[in-house]
Amino acid sequence: MGTLEATKTDEKTTSATGTRDALTVTDHRTGKTYELPIKNGTIRAMDLRQMKTGPDDFGLMSYDPAFLNTASCTSRITYIDGDKGILRYRGYPIDVLAENCTYLEVAYLLLHGELPNKQEFEQFTREITYHTMIHESLKKVMDAFNYDAHPMGMLISTVAAMSTFYPEAHNVHDAKVRQKQIHRLIAKMPTISAFAYRHSVGMPYMYPNNALTYSENFLTMLFRTPAEKYVPNPTLVRALDVLFILHADHEQNCGTHAMRGIGSAHTDPYSAVAGAASALYGPLHGGANEEVLKMLQEIGSISNVPAFIKEVKEGRGEKRLMGFGHRVYKNFDPRAKIIKRMAEEVFEVTGRNPLLDIALELERIALQDEYFVKRKLYPNVDFYSGLIYEALGIPTKAFTVLFAIPRTSGWLAQWQEMLEDPEQKIARPRQVYLGQGERAFVPMERR
Residues annotated catalytic, as ranges:
285, 326, 382
DSSP per-residue letters across 102-116? -HHHHHHHHHHSS--
Contact 354, 296 (CB under 8 A): no
- Residue 217 CA from chain centroid, whole number: 23
List 284, 302, 349, 373, residue binding ligand ACO (CB under 6 A) = 284
Binding span for ligand ACO by CB under 6 A among 10-18, 228-236, 285-293, 300-308: 285-293
To the nearest whole angstrom, how small is the minimum distance from the Cβ of residue 317 to ligand ACO? Answer: 3
Q: Which residues 6+ apart lie within 8 Å of 318 measured at CB?
A: none
Q: How far is CA 336 from CA 13, 379, 397, in A?
A: 41, 7, 21
Sheet containing strand 32-37, strands side by side: 4-5, 32-37, 22-27
Q: Per-residue x/- mask for ligand ACO, residues 301 to 320, rule CB under 6 A?
A: -----------x---xx--x
Asked if residue 144 binds ligand ACO (CB under 6 A), the reply is no
Task: Choose among 289, 395, 295: nearest CA to 335.
Answer: 289
CB of 320 to ligand ACO, least distance (A): 4
User: Cβ 197 to ligand ACO, closest distance in Å?
Assistant: 21
Tell me, residue by residue from 319 to 338, as one string, x for binding to ligand ACO by CB under 6 A and - for no binding.
-xxxxxxxx-----------
Segment 390-409, which members bind ligand ACO (CB under 6 A)? none
- Positions in 372-391 near ligand ACO (CB under 6 A): 375, 377, 380-382
CB-nearest residue to ligand ACO: 325
* Rounded Cα gap, residues 426 and 251, in angstroms: 19
Q: How far apart are CA 274 and CA 258, in angstroms?
A: 10
Count CB neighbours of 266 within 10 A. 13
Stretch that binds ligand ACO, among 5-13, 105-113, 279-287, 426-434 (CB under 6 A): 279-287
**Is the Cβ of residue 77 or residue 377 nearer to ligand ACO in the bound state?**
377
Which residues have C-beta within 8 Å of that of residue 58, sequence separation ≥ 6?
49, 52
Among the listed residues 88, 170, 238, 285, the single contact to ligand ACO using CB under 6 A:
285
Contact residues toward ligand ACO (CB under 6 A) are 284-286, 288, 312, 316-317, 320-327, 375, 377, 380-382
